[in-house]
Structure 1
Amino acid sequence: MIDRFGPLSAPSALPSPRITAPCPRPPVRRQGVPFARDLAAYGDRTALFTPQGEVSYRALAARVAATAERLGPARRLVLLAGANRADALVVLLAALAAGHPVLLVPGDSAGTLDALTAAYDPDVVARPDGHGTWVLDERRSESAHTLHPDLALLLSTSGSTGSPKLVRLSADNLQANAESIATYLGIRDTDRAATTLPPHYCYGLSVIHSHLLRGAGLILTERSVADAGFWEEFRAARGTSLAGVPYTFDLLDRVGFTRMRLPHLRYVTQAGGRLAPERVAHYAESGRRAGWELFVMYGQTEATARMAYLPPALAAERPQAVGVPIPGGSFRIRPVDGVDEPDTGELVYSGPNVMLGYAESAADLARGRTVEELHTGDIARRAPDGLYEIVGRRSRFAKILGLRIDPRRVEAILEEHGIRAFCAGDDDTLAVLAVRSEGADPARVRRLVADGCGLPPRAVRVRTVPELPRLASGKPDHEAVRRLAREPEAPPGDATTGDGLRDLYAEILDRADVTEDSSFVGLGGDSLSYVEMSLRLEQALGVLPADWHTTPIRELRGLDARRPARTPGRIRRPRRTLDTGIALRAIGIVLIVGSHIPVFAVQGGAHVLLGVAGFNFARFHLTAHERRERLRRLRRSIARIALPSMVWITFALLLTREYDLANIVLANSLLARDNSDPEWRYWFVEALVYFLTGLAVLLAVPLLDRVERRGPFAFALALVALGLVGRYDPWGLAAVRHHLSPTVVFFLFALGWAAARARTTGHRLLLTAVLLVTVPGLFPGGQPLRTSVVVGGLTLLLWIPALPSTDPLNRLAGILAGSSLYIYLTHFHVYPYLRDHSPVLALLASLTVGVMYGAVATRVTRRLL
């Protein structure tokens, strides 16, 4: 039987699974995990912050109860495709509350789901169907398995995903570990934690459990911390805590996290692998200055989640330690052959959160407790101050040519030389993967490793890669290290592969630090490179999401796998679209040049381009990066516009003598001028440079920067209001060429900015009304056609993100849009020589020369900047 769950549409209307059973079932017996049963006790407190709205504990508990009733009183094995979504969380909590064992698997891995379904034959499978609808597939009404009464949850071990080896956890394990974590973190019912890690990973799941235990809120998000949208959600929900593995902190470094202003943040937690001591100290000190604490933690899936934590007061002083046992837990050091240091050996943990044991087949689900204490496999040292330090991994030690090698120590040696790498022992050789973008030369890496370990160079196999391989949890994928190290260096990949996409980003953005988690905006992409990037990506992938510019490469790479399969015997060509902003830039520049020649008389293109410029400014410059990085990128974009403009105008002055120094330095609009036509030709470039420079000054003010981040649309709307004052020029600042004056036309730029920040139909209706009221009357003599072009173009930008297109049209639009600035600069000095002979030829020549100048200017400014 298959039942479908509708997505959460509003916090006040939580849809429950539709009951299709032929007769009512008995009430669910009171069993299972206490914190999952007791959600209603927190009443109207907010439990979930979702993209669709807030959900109270009362509403969440009602939906959990309805789903538990749907699952029935007879215990069944429920396989759940995990995701940080309300639908998945409801199924998880319902099963835990009603005592149904849950096999939690990655929701984004069809291979893992299929493998574990085949291995464990679940009675119920809960998964998304690909259309935003959750599917509950009841394969049988009673379990086909003997399920031990204590069994509550099955999780993959940290080193595997599709492997049938699972960790068996009890209801007591889950409750005890959630209580311990909530105790040492001091979680309050006012806390709000973001789901920065996947729920099928024990660390991510422990964040959910410990906060629900205390009636705190969860910011349910599937965005990466490298995504500007994540920080918008976090700030809007007044987030108080973040959890991360070492790789999460790499991403936080890239977005300038330690310089962000997050006034409600109370603490940050780190686990899932060793974070370099100097980075622990750095984050601890950053937190002290900003008012939040850093908790370094240590755990394993076999201990439900956590075994130790480092008190924040000691993080800066003892960054190499994992700390002390969690409340209710204890450690002992077990001697290990070959380890002779005092108080050093294998770390063994005891506590109520130690797993029942492993499962390797469905028959093991009937087994009770087979493990009393956890042999962690980690080599640890108990320091004189009572803190524990992890100094190696017993299972990762390799014996190579008779020498005992600790790959973890090798990684630390390379890290001291600024090289990020993963290592793994492989029979008679040591496999090393190092990050190529950090300048790691294989010969140098081999020499450093050989010298540090006493191995001959021939026993060290090195390969450089753009990004280190990780499991879904963010932990190192050591099996991939061994496999990749055996392969030769690969040539540049096809554009649809991970390497190919990274190569494409590196080529267009001229960056050497592109990784799987890089995004166009995160790498500093702007409106000048957006055109080429979007068109090249669409050619490679066939389809692009509207937010591709903020989407990490690893997610874009997955688009190809999600396309519908081809119908046998037919070639299915993906429908091509063209970004509306690109279309308007291409059409706008053709209208400008064609009207100046004239080939036709359709004006308004330049004013439309001002709106598009504001739209792109909001998309590419108002990112989640800290203020200094925002301003650095903005200064770079100003230079990319101003320098080619000043160079060309200087050339035009020498050629025609029609301009003066004010034109060269883009100051014509600032001085008292007459109505001479040549002097006003570059009004558009001047206005754009003025706007960007003024906004750079504005956003350099910390208070205004914070205000913009907290209320993006409201801030843009305030600028629209300010621009409308200039539009009607009450102080007579635009005495000459009113409709070309920067103070008058700024409102169009601000409207474009607001259009990019509009998130609701109400926002767009408001901006449309402003357009319809304020654009008429802008141009001398009314000019209804020109007014219609501006209103129509910007309305299109507001409401339609992409237009249907074709490959040839996309290529042509991409060339014109990408070169629109340069065509605008050069066309005044091309068409006069040809228009009397052939206006159409003059148009084509003007476009061609502009494209050529753009190609040269782009290369030169890229080198300079």
Structure 2
Amino acid sequence: MTTQLESARVPFAADLAGHGNRPALITDELTLSYQDLADRVCSLAWKMGTERRLIALAASNDVDSLVAYLAALSSGHPLILLPENKPAALESLVAAYNPDVVLHSANGQFTLDERRPGTVHRLHPDLALLLSTSGSTGSPKLVRLSHANLQANAESIATYLGITSADRAATTLPMSYCYGLSVINSHLLRGATLVLTDLSVVDSCFWDLFRRADATSFAAVPYTFELLERVGFADMELPSLRYVTQAGGRLAPDAVQRYAQLGRRQGWDLFVMYGQTEATARMAYLPPDLAVEYPTAIGVPVPGGTFQIKPVEGLADGELVYSGPNVMLGYAEQPEDLAQGRTITELRTGDLARRNDAGLYEIVGRRSRFVKIVGLRVDLGQVERILADLGVAAASAGLDERLIVAVEGRHDTQLLGKVLAQGVGLPRTAVELHAVEELPRLGTGKLDYSAVATLASVPEAAPRSQADAGKGQGGPNVRQIFEDALEVKDIADTDTFVSLGGDSLSFVAASVRLEQALGHLPANWHVTPVRDLEPKPQGSGRPSRRKRLFAPIDTSIVLRAVGIVLIAGTHMGLLHWQGMAHVLIAAAGFNFARFQLTGERLPRLRRQLGSLARLAVPAMVFIAFAYLVTDRYSLLNIVLLNAILGPEQVTTHWHFWFVEVIVYILLAVSALLAIPWVYRAERHLQFLFPLAVFGVGLLTRYEHVEPGIPHTTPALWLFALGWAVAASRNLLQRLTVSALAILTVPGFFENPSRDLTVVAGILLLTWLPAIPVPRALSKPMVLLASASMHIYLVHWLVYPLLADRSLPLALVASLAAGVAYWALCNTVTGLLRRRPSAKVPNGKVPKT
């Protein structure tokens, strides 16, 4: 059946020109007015033809995809919308539905594949859009949405969010995802502006664009808030931000309260929302002023919608049922279903709900998330809540007669299994727990429960699912670099350098190899997911990097390399440049903040202690050797306690004061942050917290408090100052740290040149992310920075042997010996790491 294009149109897509020259789209490269957008839409709609045809669009968050989407809606062509980065899903749906036209937008290229001049389909006149159900990308089961569905839900959302033509929304979610699409629809309806981007919120370029465009809102799923924690969102200056929306799954109540309170302080609102693809996106929202008091609620129905709670046999709570003009026409599972009209009038959400005393609806479970195990009905949501109350993030699935649970981080799964079995009333043998490094997630950020279920049958040597992708093409890729630097396997798209256990030691080698592989070193690369670091395919490739004479090296690496040369040279009398040891203490605080302050409290404590061991153990081993072959040191040196218990007079026993003080500070700070309320305070006050530590440190700097460590200059305040540098997210904060350094360092050493060295080092850390270094020197600099602590240890034994013969030779020999000891330690560590592991490689869930 063929149908001419008459009234089958979505008004907000057809009426774009009515908004005139107002900005419709802002990207990193251009600004497009509504009139310009309407012209592009009309041009593509003309190419689509005047006969209604079934169109499939593999979309990115780019101008071409948006134009194609609007062209189909405005001219009445039913559209199957799916993500560009899922070629298997496109192939599956093309095979299942045989679309007449296939559109594809990726990497700046737009293709239109007209598979036939007309159509072979019978298309219902109300049919406008076909979307995959949540979590089923590539499945032939699609949600059928009408023109009226899209218009009604856009109007409803625009009403309760108060969207006006002055609003500018950043596209933080894929447009192929109903939540991301609803942002586009509701803003175009009101003549507002879309800040169109596919950048992640962990990318500093996203926030640069956000500020330049004066964006007023962005949308977030629960996983987005985890990413926001990593980039210090709470301390960002975003004066144009009006509100943040949250949907796509349940956000933990404490996170709802925390972000709602943050918004109140900073002048923006948090809208917690609830929806499903089957309702064209949104069904409920929680008024921002109620979020702090009722953080577990989904709120009230959206304008035009109503809820009922219908009984479910055998359960205390009923199923939430929604009615409204945004309820889908029904499902499609084969091409013949595209000719059907409305087959449902209300949406049974599958969620169990209750209404509280304030009249707000709360979701208490999922009807389909109940499984029967050994004859007992188990609520998988309750399983996750029990573990969440214990501070453990988890995802659960039911399989035959077993409960399969993935828990994030390193945990005693035997103990948790016993607690969980008792909590849900199951035999211990029916509960199977797996500790994984990171819970598996779908592209939308939702938990991937099918991947959790596969844990039950993971073989001893599970194949690497993604880590091998793209290897062998033009040298090492990001995954290879991380594998080599961190000695891990099975690296997933969502992993970051820090989440894989990276620290300041492994950072050195990884950063230089990344710069060589990518041609540049992205800002905050250490907390950027692997998928965002991998270079995009380039048609002609970037210009050869061999022509570049200089390589930008991370400033902390340059300071460590230059610092250890100046320290060793000064100790042996070849050079006279004091102050670099204290610069490196500030750099230690800087790196501590960058690598040791992400993740949950207990997992990150384990990571902090592991990193501390990598510093302390090689030092203790070498000092034990020095104790045996010389008479310069004591047993207190071996256990790194000389600074506390050793003699007050300065002797050779004080050679290792720097290592001892760094160990004391790291141990004390890690212990402090292990306290729950301190942990929460640091997470909420990421810039103010190190300033508070800095203030405490000033008590010893100005001798108001005796630190009890004689003859070592107080160092906590410098460590905290470096920490504050890493926590600085804006100009005001960097200026504050700079001012504190300039005000507190001078006069401390009673040596102006030494004071100037420390101030200069801190200012370099603050204002220069990287320093250009001649490429020929990059590898030697990396070696020296990597081995700086080892050089500091061994130079005390090496240079006295050669000082009388040649001081330059003594320095070179000290550096070489330190690098050799560093290489030996790495070899031993690598052998220990390669011991046989548990049944899931690297503790990870295979991604599906």
Task: Within 5 Å, give how 1:202-281 maps onto structure 2.
Answer: 202-281=178-257
Aligned residue in 2 for 1:815: 783
Which residue, 119, 131, 136 being the options, matches 1:155? 131
Moved more, 160-169 or 482-491: 482-491
Q: Offset at 1:187? A: 1.4
> What's the CA shift for 1:160?
0.7
**1:311 match:** 287
SS at match of 1:472: coil
How far off its partner does 1:167 sit? 0.7
Give distance in 1, aligned partners of 2:585 and 2:121. Answer: 62
Q: Which residue of 1 aligns with 2:17?
A: 40
AA of the residue aligned to 1:348: V
Deviations 1:789-818 (Å, cap 9, x if unpaired)?
A: xxxxx6x55xx9xx699xxx96x6642342
Amino acid at match of 1:123: D
CA distance in 2, matches of 1:326, 1:449: 37
Partner deviation per Cα, 1:194-242 (whole Å, 9 max, x = no partner) = 2222221111111121122112222323233334443333333333223
Change (3 A) 1:152 1:242: same
Structure 2 CA distance for aligned equivalents of residues 452 and 612 of structure 1: 50
| Structure 1 residues 104-115: aligned runs within 5 Å | 104-115=81-92
Partner-residue secondary structure (3-state), 1:390: strand
Which whole-Å CA distance do the structure 2 matches of 1:173 and 1:741 have between them?
A: 70
Question: Are 1:446 and 2:422 counterparts?
Answer: no
| 2:31 counterpart letter in structure 1 | E
Partner of 1:546: 521
Deviation at 1:54, TM superposition (A): 3.5
Q: Paired residue for 1:61? A: 38
- Tell whether the 8 Å contact from 1:411 to 1:422 is kept in structure 2 after alignment: yes
Q: Which residue of the other structure, out of 526, 530, 536, is the alignment partner of 1:555?
A: 530
2:348 paired with 1:379:
no
User: Hey, what does 1:765 align to over in structure 2?
Assistant: none
Partner of 2:28: 51
Per the alignment, do residues 847 and 744 of structure 1 end up closer, same or farther by CA in structure 2, a change over 3 Å counting? Answer: closer
Whole-angstrom CA distance in 2 between matches of 1:134 and 1:41: 27
The partner residue of 1:847 within 815, 820, 828 is 815
Cα 1:430/1:837, change in 2 over 3 Å: same
Contact 2:312 / 2:318 at 8 angstroms: preserved in 1?
Answer: yes
Q: 1:434 to 1:696 in 2, by over 3 A?
A: closer
Contact 1:226 1:251 in 2 (8 A): yes
The separation in 2 between residues aligned to 1:271 and 1:495, in whole angstroms, is: 28
Asked whether 1:485 is paired with 2:456, we answer: yes
Secondary structure at the counterpart of residue 224 of structure 2 = helix
Aligned-residue identity in percent: 47
Matched residues in 2 for 1:745 and 1:856: separation?
32
Question: Structure 1 residues 272 and 129, CA, compared in 2 at 3 Å: closer, same or farther?
Answer: closer
| Aligned position for 1:287 | 263
Counterpart check, 1:393 vs 2:357: no
Taking a change above 3 Å as real, the CA distance of residues 698 and 41 of structure 1, as seen in their structure-2 partners, is same
Equivalent residues in 2 for 1:461-860, closer than 5 Å: 461-487=432-458, 496=467, 517=494, 519-520=496-497, 529-534=506-511, 546-547=521-522, 549-550=524-525, 554-556=529-531, 559=534, 654=651, 706-708=730-732, 743=756, 756=769, 796=772, 814-819=782-787, 833-834=801-802, 842=810, 844-851=812-819
Name the CA shift for 1:594/1:741 in 2 (closer, same or farther; >3 Å): closer
Report the Cα distance in structure 2 between the residues aligned to 1:472 and 1:211, rounded to whole angstroms.
23
CA contact (8 A) 2:150 2:326 kept: yes
1:737-768 residue CA offsets vs partner (Å, 9 max, x unmatched):
99x777599789868976659xxxxxxxxxxx
Relative to structure 1, the CA distance from residue 748 to residue 365 in structure 2 (aligned partners, 3 Å threshold; closer, same or farther) is same
Please name the residue that 1:572 is paired with.
none
Contact kept in structure 1, 2:589 and 2:722, CA below 8 Å: no
Q: Which letter maps to 2:303?
A: P
2: CA distance, partners of 1:258 / 1:753: 19
Please list the CA deviations of residues 297-345 of structure 1 after superposition, one character each: whole Å capped at 9, or x if unmatched.
Answer: 1111011101111222322222222222111111222232213x4xx42
1-side partners of 2:393 and 2:505: how far apart? 33
Q: What stretches of structure 2 of length at least 5 have no aligned partner?
A: 470-476, 540-549, 617-636, 663-700, 702-712, 828-848
The DSSP-based 3-state class of the residue aligned with 1:323 is strand
Aligned 8 A contact 2:590 2:723 in 1? no
* Aligned equivalent of 2:154: 178
Query: Which of the numbers 354, 360, 369 marks the counterpart of 2:342?
Result: 369
Q: Deviations over 1:145-187 (max 9, x none)?
A: 2322222111110031121111111111111101101111111
User: Contact 2:285 / 2:301 at 8 angstroms: preserved in 1?
Assistant: yes
Distance 1:129 1:164, change over 3 A: same
What secondary structure, in the 3-state scheme, does the structure 1 residue paired with 2:298 have? Answer: coil
Identify which of 84, 89, 107 aligns with 2:61.
Answer: 84
Kindly tell me: are residues 490 and 367 of structure 1, through their superposed partners in 2, closer, same or farther at Cα, counting changes over 3 Å?
same
Please report how far the alpha carbon of residue 355 of structure 1 lies from its aligned counterpart in structure 2 after TM superposition. Answer: 0.9
Distance of 1:522 and 1:302 partners within structure 2: 35
Asked if the contact 2:5–2:75 (Cα under 8 Å) also holds between the matched residues in 1, the reply is yes
Compared CA separation, residues 849 and 191, structure 1 to 2 (3 A) = same
Greater alpha carbon shift after TM alignment, 323-332 vs 483-492: 483-492
Measured against aligned partners, the alpha-carbon deviations of 1:225-281 in whole angstroms (never above 9, x if no partner) come to 334443333333333223222222233344444454433332222222222334333
Contact 2:53 2:77 in 1 (8 A): yes
Structure 2 CA distance for aligned equivalents of residues 152 and 123 of structure 1? 15
Q: Alpha carbon RMSD of aligned pairs, Å?
A: 5.9
TM-score relative to the length of structure 2: 0.69
Classify 1:85/1:235 alpha carbon distance in 2 versus 1 (closer, same or farther; 3 Å). same
CA separation in 2, counterparts of 1:103 and 1:139? 15
Query: Is the CA contact (8 Å cut-off) linking 2:25 and 2:193 kept in structure 1?
Result: yes
Aligned to 1:323: 299
2:76 is aligned to 99
Determine helix, strand or coil for the equivalent of 2:245: strand
Query: Is 1:298 aligned with 2:274?
Result: yes
- Supply the distance in 2 between the matched residues of 1:270 and 1:197 (Cα, whole angstroms): 11
Q: For 1:427-438, list aligned pairs within 5 A.
A: 427-437=400-410
Cα distance in 2, alignment partners of residues 357 and 444 from structure 1: 46
The 2-side partners of 1:324 and 1:261 are apart by 31
Equivalent position amino acid for 2:422 in 1: D
Counterpart contact for 2:80–2:131, Cα < 8 Å: yes
Q: Does 1:136 align with 2:104?
A: no
Instruction: List alignment gaps of at least 5 residues for structure 1.
Output: 1-26, 565-576, 671-685, 724-732, 758-793, 860-865
Distance 2:116 2:463 in 1: 49
Q: Which residue of 1 aligns with 2:50?
A: 73
Counterpart residue number, 1:120: 97
Q: Distance in 1 between matches of 2:308 and 2:297?
A: 16
Distance 2:420 2:800 in 1: 67
Q: Is the CA contact (8 Å cut-off) linking 2:586 and 2:723 kept in structure 1?
A: no
| Alpha carbons 2:397, 2:405 under 8 Å: kept | yes
SS in 1 for 2:359: coil
Q: Encode CA deviations 1:537-584: one digit per residue, 9 max, x unaligned.
A: 799xx76863285266653499499799xxxxxxxxxxxx98656998
| 3-state SS of paired residue (1:347) | strand
Task: Give the corresponding residue for 1:195.
Answer: 171
Residues 557 and 177 of structure 1, relative CA distance in 2, 3 Å threshold: closer
SS for the counterpart of 1:309 is strand
Range moving further from structure 2, 279-288 or 829-838: 829-838
> How does the TM-score come out when normalised to structure 1?
0.68
Change (3 A) 1:147 1:610: farther
Please state how far the C-alpha of 1:471 moved relative to its aligned partner.
1.5
Aligned to 1:574: none
